Amino acid sequence: MSKVGVFVCHCGENISATVDCAKVAETAGTYDGVAFSVDYKYMCSDPGQNLIKSAIKEKGLTGVVVASCSPRMHEPTFRKACAEAGLNPFMCEMANLREHCSWVHEKGEATTDKAIDLVRILVEKVKYNHSLNEIKVPVTKTALVIGGGIAGIQASLDIANTGHKVILIEKDPSIGGHMSQLSETFPTLDCSQCILTPRMVEVAQHPNITLYTYAELESLEGFIGNFKAKIRRKSKSIDEKLCTGCGQCTMKCPVKKIPSEFNEGLGKRTAIYVPFPQAVPNKPVIDRINCTYYIKGKCKVCEIVCPTGAIRFDQEDQIMEVEIGAIVIATGFTVKQPDFFPEYGYGKYADVITGLQFERLASASGPTLGEIRRPSDGKIPEKIVFLACAGSRDPAKGIPYCSKICCMYIAKHAMLYQHKVHGGKSYVFYMDIRAGGKQYEEFVRRAIEDDGVNYVRGRVSRIYEKNGKLIVNGVDTLLNAMPVEIEADMVVLATAGVANEGAEELAQKLHISYDPYKFFAEAHPKLKPVETNTAGIFLAGACQAPRDIPESVAMASGAAVKVASLFSKDELTREPIIAVVNRQAPPVYSSCVGCFLCVSACPYQAIEKEEIKNRNGEVIKSIAKVNPGLCQGCGTCVAFCRTKSIDIQGYTHEQMYTEVMALLNEY
């Protein structure tokens, strides 16, 4: 005989403002099988929980229905309270009177009636609940970090320093990411490579970190604590164990005119190449698309000059499988090529460049050795114009958001220009100045007040070339929209920060959510910035949204702590809301007929075949069996099963039918 306790919460005024809670509790008290029914202001508080506990003990309750907020808020709270009072936690159900009722309806009788219905159906359901026990799964204490930029590097080091193993994969031949392309960083004007490379070396030398560059994620299976990842190690065409990084091959390679990706197309590289001198690992890869050997079958100069015989033309991609417990995604972002701005002439005029290209010009290891020179004729520009918001904050071109870092790097670029070209004149066309970080505002003021950068508030309508100069047609909105025309030698566009190509495919492989701009989605915009909605997968850095270096580093450390806390336990407990195939007494054994439709339906490959044998070892029947470690309780198999032989614990057929009937019947 059931003895159900009903506890209706006011949730302050969140529920009681539109629902008559007292009436709900009173009505519930009249149902068959309800031994106790009460309403209270804050069920989740200590006194509220004590109310539940004492009711369980005093009335010998066999089931509890807490009618309050969403289970996503407080299911753990109330389950814990029941457990403490000696009732199996899975005998506790929650009726969502808040998100499903009081918050979406106006005050009135209909709303209270709906609340009464919601309570009734769960009272009926809970009569069919069974005691369940949590499942324990082991945790693999190895983390996978995808992406070797500053965020990935930081996350790897932090996790490795807690004593756990890290596998770091990076799709480019070297780690370092965009930070390695920068000249100096705001607001300190530190040399970017100088502060980055020690970290890169630390990663390479750390005993707990295994680094694979030129590698990408091929596929992912499993769940938190128990992932299986396949990693594709693209063929570098080099035997890394033999290669010493001497550099003979890159010096002698005859194909020298390939536009360098690291230099954003402003410099050239060879077909066998190391992306930049401080690369980690400092070993080359062969670009098979441009290498003469792969195109025509000739050359092989690198093989001839290599002192250790490390060239392997026939090397193939390798797929390796690893077992990991958690994943940190740190794949970063990219800048959008502004050729969707035909009025600015990018791609048509050589001297209209992007901010990242300017970084390469300003960098001492760049194609012009740190001198600002025009790509067209190599001359030093006397007048330079910077355009802010060249892509961001532009719904007409498809990107309505602000890319956050451009105001700061434009000020930095203008300052670097003024430092390098004494007597040069620089202009910045801006709409707003966003300088919200520590020391950021002061940095921008220095550009304006100390370095004489001319800031003009207004956007540029178009840029065209005449007599070797770039004519910039802008406006000063602070002077009654007075036209401002500048004959510039070079124009730098602050392009939008966008998600990497391939971000969508990666998100789908990882089963994580992403937004319309292909940035990966955090679990909660305010309170869970480094977690995703997929348990065990965390985010760090600009793959979630454009951001600067200090924020990326902070996020990476945050993600690392989440991983470390996951690894601090030897076992993970999982909810027992999983599918089970029924078993009965012989000779039936199970109503399952062995059609195995569920096996093909299961998205998690969690169902196996079980052979039932007699004492002689002969197989009597083959039926389905659910692996409790892999099952996620999605219920797809239940929908497929034609004989209703498979059920979800906690959401059985019986329980579901009871809820529906309770809703339809007048009580």
Partner 1 sequence: MSSDTHHSGISGLGGEVLEHTEVKVSHCYQCGKCSAGCPLSQEMDYPPSVIMRMLQTGDAALEDKVLRSFSIWVCLTCEMCFARCPMSIDIPKMMDFLREKSIKEKKSNPKAKEIVAFHKSFLDSIRYTGRLYEVGLFVDYKTRTLKILDDLALAPKMMKRGKLNIIPELIKDRSGVAGIFRKANKKNKN
Partner 2 sequence: MTLGFYPGCSLKGSSREYAESVLAVAKAFDINLEEINDWNCCGATAAHNMNKELSLALPARILSLAEKQGLIEIVVPCAACYSRLTVTKHELSKDTELKALVTEANGLEYTGSVSVLNIVQFLDKYITPSLGGRVVTPFDHKVACYYGCLLVRPHEILEFDREEDPQSLDVLMLKVGATPIDWAFKTECCGAGLSVSRTSSVGRLSGKIIGDAKDRGAEAVIVACPMCHSNLDMRRDAINSYLGEKIDIPVLYITQAIGLALGLDRKALGLQRHFVKVTV
Cβ closer to partner 1: 14 or 473?
Answer: 473
Residues 414, 632: Cα–Cα separation, whole Å: 54
Q: How far is the CB of 177 from partner 2 (least distance, A)?
A: 34
Number of other residues whose CB lies within 10 A of the CB of residue 296? 8
Using CB under 8 A as the binding rule, whether residue 345 contacts partner 1 is answered as no
Number of residues binding to partner 1, judged by CB under 8 A: 23
Part of the chain binding partner 1 (CB under 8 A), chosen from 169-177, 284-292, 387-395, 581-589: 387-395
The DSSP code for 651 is B
Query: Is residue 457 close enough to count as binding partner 1 by CB under 8 A?
Result: yes
By CB under 8 A, residue 462 contacts partner 1: yes
Instruction: Report the residue from 458, 536, 546, 633 that binds partner 1 according to the rule CB under 8 A.
Output: 458
Which H helix or E strand runs over 414?
A: helix 406-420
Contact call for residue 454 and partner 1 (CB under 8 A): no
Compute CA 315 distance to the chain's CA centroid, rounded to the nearest angstrom.
33
Q: Provide the total of helices (H) and of strands (E) in the chain, helices listed first.
A: 17, 34
Phi/psi at 270 (5° precision): -95, 175
* Minimum distance of partner 2 from residue 399's CB (angstroms): 18
Binding pattern to partner 1, positions 147-186, x when CB under 8 A?
----------------------------------------
Which amino acid appears at position 546 of this protein?
Answer: P
Examine residue 116 and tell whether it contacts partner 1 (CB under 8 A): no
The answer to the question of residue 431 lying near partner 1 (CB under 8 A) is yes
- d(C-alpha 92, C-alpha 343), whole Å: 64
The item of partner 1, partner 2, none sharing an interface with residue 509, based on CB under 5 to 8 Å by kind, is none
Contact 621, 612 (CB under 8 A): yes
Which member of 473, 500, 557, 591 binds partner 1 (CB under 8 A)? 473
Other C-beta atoms lying within 10 Å of the C-beta of residue 219: 13
Measured CA to CA, the distance from residue 272 to residue 83 in angstroms comes to 64
What does the alpha-carbon distance between residue 61 and residue 52 come to, in Å, rounded to a whole number? 10
Number of C-beta neighbours around residue 526 at 10 A: 6
Does residue 348 interact with partner 1 by CB under 8 A?
no
User: Rounded to the nearest 10 degrees, how much is the dihedral formed by the CA atoms of 363, 369, 372, 378?
Assistant: -150
Return the number of the residue (31 or 349) whose C-beta is nearest partner 1.
349
Judging by beta carbons within 10 Å of its beta carbon (0-12, 13-18, 19+), is residue 448 exposed, middle or buried?
A: middle
Q: What is the DSSP letter of 80?
A: H
Q: Which residues bind partner 2 (CB under 8 A)?
A: 342-343, 348, 462, 464-467, 471
Minimum distance of partner 2 from residue 465's CB (angstroms): 7
**Exposed/middle/buried for residue 70 (C-beta within 10 Å: 0-12, 13-18, 19+):** middle
- The one among 23, 100, 206, 397 contacting partner 1 by CB under 8 A: 397
Least separation in angstroms between residue 491's CB and partner 1 is 14
Q: Which of partner 2, partner 1, none has residue 395 at its interface (CB below 5 to 8 Å by kind)?
A: partner 1
Tell me: does residue 480 bind partner 1 (CB under 8 A). Answer: yes
Give the residue with the Cβ less far from partner 2, 346 or 455: 346
Among 325, 345, 474, 536, binds partner 1 (CB under 8 A): 474
How long a stretch of residues is the chain?
A: 667
Selected from 207, 378, 395, 423, the binder of partner 1 by CB under 8 A is 395
Question: In the set 280, 447, 460, 545, which binds partner 1 (CB under 8 A)?
Answer: 460
Determine, following the binding rule CB under 8 A, whether residue 389 of this chain makes contact with partner 1: yes
Q: How far is the CB of 432 from partner 1 (least distance, A)?
A: 9
Round to whole Å and give the CA distance between 276 and 174: 8
Min dist CB 287 to partner 1, Å, is 38
> Please, what is the minimum distance in Å from the beta carbon of residue 182 to partner 2?
32
Rounded to whole angstroms, the Cα distance separating 424 from 419 reads: 9
Cα–Cα distance measured from residue 274 to residue 243, given in angstroms and rounded to the nearest whole number: 12
Whose CA is closest to 209, among 171, 243, 244, 164? 164
Per CB under 8 A, which region of 133-141, 474-482, 501-509, 594-602 contacts partner 1? Answer: 474-482
* Residues that bind partner 1 in the complex, under the rule CB under 8 A: 343, 389, 393-397, 431, 457-462, 473-477, 480-481, 483-484
